[in-house]
Structure 1
Amino acid sequence: MTASVPALDLASLLCSRLCHDLLSPVGALSNGLELLTEEQDPAMRQRCFELLEQSAKASADKLKFFRLAFGAAGGFGDTVPVSEARALVDALAGSNGRVAVNWMFGVDSLPKPAVKTLLNLALIGLDALVRGGTLDIGAEATGSAIEIVVRAAGQRVAFDPAIGEALEGRLRSSELSSRTAPAAMVQQLAASVGGGVQVHVTAESLVMGAVLPVG
């Protein structure tokens, strides 16, 4: 089961996922710089600068997102402003250009495990919208628990069943990969506080919900 994955193995898989996602924008930066050294036409040089700026922003946005989603950004405080999580997801979705994000928050801040859960569920939702669509994200406190819902909807939702199994703690640790590692981390976060995650998927929508007890 995913709950038994050693912390070092999970950390290694998350690092692999981060490197995979950064490879494209960082590679574009390298290619752009190479072109810039050879290009003499002013119009083309200006275009190179624009592409470099876009790639640099995409790299920075991904690093900021993964720093909080996977790491310990903001230190080890108890809560994180939801506005910070929103800005990170909006920036990540903005680089896609085909996904509209809608927010429904009933709180101003969330415990760090809840923020990490929200960010990783949002990442899974974005990955599923291969042809674009909408990503609805909601979170509220019910007194005894934090409830988080992420819904991805579009013409085609591409969702690997292994990710659903990892979210619900049904995937064998030997079957984990960098693709399913974020889902495994969400499951472990929820389990560590006595909560859980549920998934429902159709051809046109993916709904993921997490309940995290507090106190």
Structure 2
Amino acid sequence: MPDPIIAREDVAESELVTRRGRFSAVAFRHGGHEHMALVHGRVRSREDVLVRVHSECLTGDIFGALRCECGEQLGAALDAIVREGSGILVYLRGQEGRGIGLVAKVRTHVLQDEQGLDTVDSATSLGLPVDVRDYTPAAVVLAYLGVRSVRLMSNNPDKIASLEEHGIRVTERVPLLMPPSENNIAYLKAKRDRLGHDLPQLDRFAVGERHG
């Protein structure tokens, strides 16, 4: 397990009442950014805790952009945690555009809209990396919260490998599939075909297109 100690000056906890229910809001600093873990129910010293590690996406999470499914996944993950009765959502900041930053992400949007590039090629054409996200902060806060193992809500096998490299045991990957639309289908296909995400709902969408 990673070192579970977070310095007192780098963490603060309070109750957070939301329209979905009550959470413990654990704000913490790590890696030059301030992050948040929302904890619902009892999780300390428990196995197989339902967890979502969510990368910050201002356009999707806050403004409801339709070119990605980030905002939908955020809401669906919180709903699943509440239904479960316990769980954790770790919200990692400083990860816009898979870590390239907000300005660079918006520049890739221009290339996607004007030149038809996908999310991978629009980044590399600007000389940017495809994915430089670091999941160490998630592992650190999960250890701090005393979680023994997790069931991870994710469609990205690489996220599981990264957490396990940092000492977090993942006992199950729980799919978090959102319905595709004409606004995000190109984005989702790039995630599946070029980044290895498991998105079986895209096959059903293609069948629907042929028979629509």
Same fold (TM over 0.5): no
Question: TM-score of the superposition, structure 1-length normalised?
Answer: 0.26
- Which structure has the highest helix share of the two? 1
Structure showing greater Rg: 1
